[in-house]
Amino acid sequence: MLFLYLQVLNPFYVFQAFTLTLWLSQGYIEYSVAIIILSIISIVLSVYDLRQQSVKLHNLVEDHNKVQVTVMVKDKGLQKLESHLLVPGDTLILPGKTSLPCDAILIDGSCVVTEGMLTGESIPVTKTPLPHTENTVAWKSHSLEDYRKHVLFCGTEVIQVKPSGQGPVRAVVLQTGYNTAKGDLVRSILYPRPLNFKLYNDAFKFIVFLAFLGIVGFFYALGVYMYHGVSPRDTATMALLLLTVTVPPVLPAALTTGIVYAQKRLKKKKIFCISPQRINMCGQINLVCFDKTGTLTEDGLDLWGTVPTADNCFQEVNSFASGKALPWGPLCAAMTSCHSLILLNGTIQGDPLDLKMFEGTAWIMEDCDADYRTFGMPGSNIIIKPGPKASWSPVEAIAILRQFPFSSSLQRMSVVAQVAGEDHFHVYMKGAPEMLAKFCKSETVPKNFPQELRKYTIQGFRVIAFAHKGLKMKKLSEVENLARWKKVESDLTFLGLLIMENRLKKESKPVLKELHEACIRTVMITGDNLQTAITVAKNSEMIPGGSQVILVEANEPEDFVPASVTWQLVENQENGPEKNETCVNIGNSSVPDGARGSCYHFAMSGKSYQVIFQHFNSLLPKILVNGTIFARMSPGQKSSLIEEFQKLNYYVGMCGDGANDCGALKMAHAGISLSEQEASVASPFTSKIANIACVPHLIREGRAALVSSFGVFKYLTMYGIIQLIGASLLYWQLQLFGNYQYLMQDVAITLMVCLTMSSTHAYPKLAPYRPAGQLLSPPLLLSVFLNTCFTCIVQICAFLYVKQQPWYCEVYRYSKCFLDNQSNFSMNMSLERNGTENATLIPGSVLSFESTTLWPLTTINCITAAFIFSKGKPFRKPIYTNYIFSFLLISALGLTVFILFSDFQDIYRGMEFIPTLTSWRVSILVAALTQFCVAFLVEDFILQNRKLWLWIKKEFGFYSKSQYRHWQKTLAEDSTWPPTNRTDYSGDGENGFYINRGYESPEQIPKAKLELEGQTTEQHFWTRL
66-190 under CATH 3.40.350.10, yes or no: no
Question: How wide is the angle at C-alpha 677 spanned by C-alphas 671 and 683, nearest 5°?
Answer: 15
d(CA 691, CA 505): 7
Q: How many CB atoms lie within 10 A of CB 36?
A: 16
Report yes or no: 583 and 591 within 8 Å, Cβ to Cβ: yes
Compute the average pLDDT of residues 745-760: 84
pLDDT of residue 7 exceeding 70: no
Quote the percentage of the chain above a pLDDT of 90: 17
Across 204-213, 365-374, 725-734, 993-1002, least confident range: 993-1002
Across 93-102, 215-224, 361-370, least confident range: 361-370
Compute the average pLDDT of residues 598-615: 86
Report yes or no: 969 and 577 within 8 Å, Cβ to Cβ: no
- 555-575 pLDDT, tens digit each: 888 777 888 888 888 764 344
User: Maximum distance among all alpha carbons in the chain?
Assistant: 125
Which among 629, 638, 569 has a CA at the least distance from the CA of 610?
638
d(CA 613, CA 563): 11
pLDDT of residue 1014: 41
Q: Which residues are CB-neighbours of 20 under 8 A, at least 6 positions away?
A: 32, 35, 36
Helix (H) or strand (E) holding 1013: none
Q: 322 pLDDT band (50/70/90 cuts)? A: low
Across 403-407, 437-441, 707-711, least confident range: 403-407
> Between 730 and 407, whose confidence is greater?
730
Q: Where are the alpha helices (DSSP H) in 761-816?
A: 778-802
Compute the average pLDDT of residues 94-99: 80
> Burial level of 255, CB count in 10 A (0-12/13-18/19+)?
buried
| Residue 294 DSSP one-character state | I
Q: 591 pLDDT band (50/70/90 cuts)? A: very low
pTM score above 0.75: yes
Q: 5 pLDDT band (50/70/90 cuts)? A: low
pLDDT of residue 859 exceeding 90: yes
Q: Provide the CATH number for the domain formed by 287-296+505-688+965-1024 in this structure.
A: 3.40.50.1000
pLDDT of residue 494: 92
The mean pLDDT of the chain is 78
Which among 625, 630, 491, 480 has a CA at the least distance from the CA of 554?
630
pLDDT of residue 373 exceeding 60: no
Which among 193, 197, 120 has a CA at the least distance from the CA of 676?
120
Compute the average pLDDT of residues 623-635: 89
Q: 9 pLDDT band (50/70/90 cuts)? A: low
Q: 844 pLDDT band (50/70/90 cuts)? A: low
pLDDT of residue 676: 67
Q: Is the peptide bond between 562 and the residue preceding it cis, with omega within 30 degrees of 0?
A: no
Quote the percentage of the chain above a pLDDT of 70: 79
Q: 1 pLDDT band (50/70/90 cuts)? A: low
Compute the average pLDDT of residues 505-517: 91
198-269+698-944 under CATH 1.25.40.10, yes or no: no
Q: Which string of DSSP letters, residue by residue, matches 920-988?
A: HHHHHHHHHHHHHHHHHHHIIIIIT-HHHHHHHHHHTT-----HHHHHHHHHHT-TT-S--SEEEE-SS
Compute the average pLDDT of residues 221-232: 86
> Between 830 and 107, whose confidence is greater?
107
pLDDT of residue 1016: 40
d(CA 1003, CA 677): 31
Domain boundaries, the chain: 2-63, 66-190, 198-269+698-944, 287-296+505-688+965-1024, 302-501
Q: 837 pLDDT band (50/70/90 cuts)? A: very low
Query: Which strands, in side-by-side order, build the sheet including 125-127?
Result: 98-99, 157-162, 110-114, 125-127
pLDDT of residue 528 exceeding 90: no
Compute the average pLDDT of residues 581-610: 57
What are the residue numbers of the active site?
291
- 772-783 pLDDT, tens digit each: 878 788 888 899
E-strand spans in 291-369?
302-310, 313-314, 318-319, 342-344, 347-349, 363-367
Compute the average pLDDT of residues 370-386: 61
- 168-190 pLDDT, tens digit each: 888 888 888 777 777 776 776 66
Q: 472 pLDDT band (50/70/90 cuts)? A: confident
> Between 1010 and 941, whose confidence is greater?
941
Question: How wide is the angle at C-alpha 468 spanned by C-alphas 463 and 470, nearest 5°?
Answer: 170
d(CA 149, CA 141): 13
Q: 424 pLDDT band (50/70/90 cuts)? A: confident
Compute the average pLDDT of residues 786-799: 94
**Domain 302-501 belongs to what topology?**
Calcium-transporting ATPase, cytoplasmic domain N (3.40.1110)
- 23-40 pLDDT, tens digit each: 777 777 776 777 777 777
Across 227-241, 426-440, 475-489, 747-761, least confident range: 475-489
pLDDT of residue 995: 34
d(CA 750, CA 906): 24
pLDDT of residue 577: 39
> Between 376 and 156, whose confidence is greater?
156
Compute the average pLDDT of residues 958-962: 80
- 704-720 pLDDT, tens digit each: 998 988 888 889 889 88
pLDDT of residue 342 exceeding 50: yes
pLDDT of residue 898: 92
- Helix 694-731 crosses helix 232-243 at what angle (to 10 degrees)? 160
> Between 946 and 369, whose confidence is greater?
946
> Between 347 and 680, whose confidence is greater?
347
Q: CA dihedral in degrees (44, 49, 52, 57; nearest 10)? A: -140
Q: 53 pLDDT band (50/70/90 cuts)? A: low
